[in-house]
C-alpha cells in the first residue's frame, strides 16, 4: 500500500510517498481502508519536531523507522480482530489514530472510532475527530460550560474554532468569536452572536466580560485574557496557533496557566484532547441532526499531502483541510 513516511525532521518536502507493507491488526483492532483524512497542526508538529518535546515520543535524532504521519481519518472497516465487538467489515467509520492515517490502510482501536453518519461524506467525517474532540472537551469538561453563559472563542475560524463556536451554541451559550476580517461572515454563519475582528480591535481591551474564554491562539498574556473574564470566570487554554516556543510549543502557555491558577481567583484550565468513541457518537448525532457541520476550507488528493500541510502551516485555514484517497 502507499503511505507518507519521513526519515528526518523538517518541512513538508521531507515527506515521501512509499510502498509499504499493509499493517497487521492486534486482536482488539480493526483494519480501516482509508477513504479520507484531514490535517492538523499536530501533523506538522510531528513532521518538524516542533516543539522539540515531540522527539521524546517519536525519536530523538530522527523519526523512528517506519512511522507513517497522520491522525484524523474516515474509511471502511476491512478486517476485525477476534476481540472486537460492535464493528464489522463493511462498516463506514470515522475517528483517529496516534499516527498512520496518511496511508491507504491503517490499524485502529475501536475505542477511537464511531460509525459514520450515512449522510456525511468521508471527507467531512475525516475532518471531525481531533478538532471537535478538543473543542468539546475544552468547553464541556474543562470549561464546564452552562446554558446562558457568555463565551468568547479566540481563534474562531480555524479547525478547532469552527467546531467550538457551533458546540458552544449547541450547549446553550451566547458566543463571541475572534477572527480576522475575511472570516467574520463565516464565524457569524456558524452561530456566533458577536464577532471581533482582531485586525482592528484587541478583545482584551473590551468592556465586555465573559464567563468562559477559550484561547486557541496563544497570542495574549494571561493577564490580558483574565481581564475580560467575569470575577468567577474560566480560562481554557487550548493551543498556540501563534506560539513561538521551540522547546514546548503551545504547552508553554499551558504551564504558565497552571502556575498562575494557584494564585488567582479565576479558574485556568488546559485541554489535552482524548479521542473516544462516546464523544465521537455524540458528535455524529449532532451532525445527523444538522446541529453542527464540519467546515472544509480545501480538499487535496492524497498525492498532494505536502501541499495541504504547507497550506495549514500558514496558519490561516478556514475550518479544516481534507485529504481524499
Ligand atoms: N490542547 C489540545 O488538546 C489541542 C488539540 C489539537 C490542537 N491543539 C492546538 O490548537 C491550536 C489550533 O489548532 P487548529 O486546528 O484550530 O489550527 P488552525 O486550523 O491551523 O488555525 C488556523 C486559524 O487560526 C486563525 N488565527 C491565526 N492567527 C490568529 C489570531 N491572531 N487571532 C485569531 N485567530 C487567528 C486563522 O484565522 P485568520 O485567517 O482569520 O487569521 C485560522 O482560521 C494549535 O496550536 C494546535 O497545536 C491543541
| Confidence at residue 276, expressed as pLDDT on a 0 to 100 scale | 98
Is 131-270 in the same CATH topology as 2-128+294-324? no
Is the pLDDT score of 243 beyond 80? no
Residue 131 CA to ligand 1 centre (angstroms)? 10
CA-240 nearest atom, ligand 1? 45
Residue 41 CA to ligand 1 centre (angstroms)? 8
Burial of 8 (0-12, 13-18, 19+ CB in 10 A): exposed
166 lines ligand 1 (CB under 6 A): no
Residue holding cell 464577532?
Answer: 195
Is the pLDDT score of 244 beyond 80? no
Q: Nine-digit cell at 9? A: 525532521
Kindly report which listed range (97-106, 192-201, 239-248) carries the lowest average pLDDT score.
Answer: 239-248
130 lines ligand 1 (CB under 6 A): yes
CA-238 nearest atom, ligand 1? 1
Q: Where are the domains of the chain?
A: 2-128+294-324, 131-270
> pLDDT-based confidence at 260, cuts 50/70/90?
confident
Q: What is the mean pLDDT of residues 93-97?
A: 98
Contact 288, 271 (CB under 8 A): no
Is the pLDDT score of 174 beyond 80? yes
Task: Please name every residue paired with 103 in a beta bridge, in sequence order, or none if there are none.
Answer: 3
| Confidence at residue 249, expressed as pLDDT on a 0 to 100 scale | 78
Is the pLDDT score of 1 beyond 90? yes
Q: Nine-digit cell at 137? A: 472537551
Contact 204, 228 (CB under 8 A): yes
* Residue of 45, 155, 181, 237 with the most ligand 1 atoms within 8 Å of its CB, for mutation: 155
* Residue of 51, 241, 318 with the most ligand 1 atoms within 8 Å of its CB, for mutation: 241
Q: Nine-digit cell at 325? A: 484517497
Q: Mind listing the pLDDT tens digit for each residue in 112-152?
A: 999 999 999 999 999 999 999 999 999 999 999 999 999 99
| Confidence at residue 252, expressed as pLDDT on a 0 to 100 scale | 84
Q: Ligand 1 atom 11: the closest Cα is on which residue?
A: 239
250 lines ligand 1 (CB under 6 A): yes
55 lines ligand 1 (CB under 6 A): no
203 lines ligand 1 (CB under 6 A): no
CA-320 nearest atom, ligand 1? 19
| Confidence at residue 47, expressed as pLDDT on a 0 to 100 scale | 98
Q: What is the mean pLDDT of residues 40-60?
A: 94
Q: Ligand 1 atom 47: the closest Cα is on which residue?
A: 41
Q: Nine-digit cell at 171? A: 450547549
| Cβ-based neighbour number of residue 40 at 10 Å | 25
| Confidence at residue 209, expressed as pLDDT on a 0 to 100 scale | 98
Residue 240 CA to ligand 1 centre (angstroms)? 7
* Residue of 42, 196, 216, 269 with the most ligand 1 atoms within 8 Å of its CB, for mutation: 216
Domain 131-270 sits in CATH at 3.40.50.720
Nearest to 319 by CA among 96, 157, 180, 155: 157
CA 194, 151, 275, 112 torsion-angle sign: negative
| Confidence at residue 247, expressed as pLDDT on a 0 to 100 scale | 78
Q: What is the mean pLDDT of residues 251-276?
A: 92
Q: Nine-digit cell at 311? A: 497550506
| Confidence at residue 79, expressed as pLDDT on a 0 to 100 scale | 98
Q: What are phi and psi of 193, to 5 degrees?
A: -80, -25
Q: Ligand 1 atom 2: the closest Cα is on which residue?
A: 272
Q: What is the mean pLDDT of residues 236-253?
A: 83
| Confidence at residue 239, expressed as pLDDT on a 0 to 100 scale | 83
State percent of the chain over pLDDT 90.
Answer: 90
SS (H, E, C) the chain: CEEEEECCCCCHHHEEEEECCCCCCCCCCEEEEEEEEEECHHHHHHHHCCCHHHHHHHCCCCCCCCCECCCEEEEEEEEECCCCCCCCCCCEEEEECCCCCCECEEEECHHHEEECCCCCCHHHHCCCHHHHHHHHHHHHHHCCCCCCCEEEEECCCCHHHHHHHHHHHHCCCEEEEEECHHHHHHHHHCCCCEEEECCCCCHHHCCCCEEEEEECCCCCCHHHHHHCEEEEEEEEECCCCCCCCCCCCCHHHHHHHHHHCCCCCCEEEECCCCCCHHHHHHHHHHHHCCCCCCCEEEEEEHHHHHHHHHHHHCCCCCCEEEEEC
Q: Which CATH number fits domain 2-128+294-324: 3.90.180.10, 3.30.200.210, 1.20.210.10, 3.40.50.300?
A: 3.90.180.10
158 lines ligand 1 (CB under 6 A): yes
Threshold 0.95, pTM exceeds:
yes
Q: What are phi and psi of 130, to 5 degrees?
A: -65, -45
Nearest-angstrom CA–CA distance, 240 and 63: 23
Contact 132, 238 (CB under 8 A): no
Is the pLDDT score of 242 beyond 80? no
CA-219 nearest atom, ligand 1? 31
Q: Which residues contact 79 (CB under 8 A, 6 or more apart)?
A: 25, 30, 31, 89
| Confidence at residue 6, expressed as pLDDT on a 0 to 100 scale | 97
26 lines ligand 1 (CB under 6 A): no
* Residue of 38, 41, 201 with the most ligand 1 atoms within 8 Å of its CB, for mutation: 41
Amino acid at each position: 500500500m502507499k503511505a507518507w513516511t519521513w526519515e528526518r525532521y523538517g518541512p513538508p518536502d521531507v515527506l515521501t510517498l512509499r510502498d509499504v507493507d499493509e499493517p497487521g491488526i492486534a486482536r482488539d483492532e480493526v483494519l480501516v481502508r482509508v477513504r479520507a483524512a484531514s490535517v492538523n497542526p499536530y501533523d506538522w508538529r510531528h513532521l518538524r519536531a516542533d516543539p522539540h518535546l515531540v522527539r521524546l515520543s517519536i525519536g530523538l535524532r530522527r523519526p523512528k523507522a517506519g512511522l507513517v504521519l497522520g491522525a484524523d481519518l474516515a474509511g471502511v472497516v476491512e478486517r476485525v480482530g477476534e476481540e472486537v465487538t460492535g464493528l464489522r467489515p463493511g462498516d463506514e467509520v470515522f475517528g483517529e489514530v496516534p499516527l498512520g492515517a496518511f496511508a491507504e490502510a491503517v490499524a485502529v482501536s475501536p475505542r477511537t472510532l464511531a460509525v459514520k453518519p450515512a449522510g456525511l461524506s468521508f471527507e467531512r467525517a475525516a475532518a471531525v475527530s481531533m478538532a471537535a474532540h478538543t473543542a468539546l472537551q475544552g468547553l464541556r469538561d474543562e470549561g464546564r460550560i452552562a446554558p446562558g453563559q457568555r463565551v468568547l472563542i479566540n481563534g474562531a475560524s480555524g479547525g478547532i474554532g469552527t467546531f467550538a463556536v457551533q458546540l458552544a451554541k449547541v450547549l446553550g451559550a451566547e458566543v463571541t468569536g475572534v477572527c480576522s476580517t475575511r472570516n467574520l461572515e463565516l464565524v457569524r454563519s456558524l452561530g456566533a452572536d458577536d464577532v471581533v475582528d482582531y485586525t482592528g480591535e484587541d478583545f482584551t481591551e473590551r468592556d465586555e466580560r465573559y464567563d468562559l474564554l477559550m484561547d486557541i491562539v496563544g497570542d495574549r498574556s494571561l493577564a490580558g485574557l483574565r481581564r475580560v473574564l467575569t470575577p468567577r470566570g474560566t480560562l481554557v487554554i487550548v493551543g498556540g496557533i501563534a506560539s513561538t516556543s521551540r522547546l514546548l510549543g503551545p504547552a508553554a502557555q499551558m504551564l504558565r496557566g497552571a502556575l498562575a491558577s494557584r494564585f488567582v481567583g479565576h479558574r485556568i484550565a488546559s485541554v489535552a484532547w482524548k479521542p473516544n468513541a462516546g464523544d465521537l457518537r455524540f458528535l455524529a448525532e449532532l451532525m445527523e441532526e444538522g446541529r453542527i457541520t464540519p467546515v472544509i476550507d480545501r480538499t487535496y488528493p492524497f498525492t498532494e499531502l505536502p501541499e495541504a500541510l504547507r497550506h495549514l502551516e500558514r496558519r490561516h485555514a478556514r475550518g479544516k483541510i481534507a485529504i481524499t484517497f
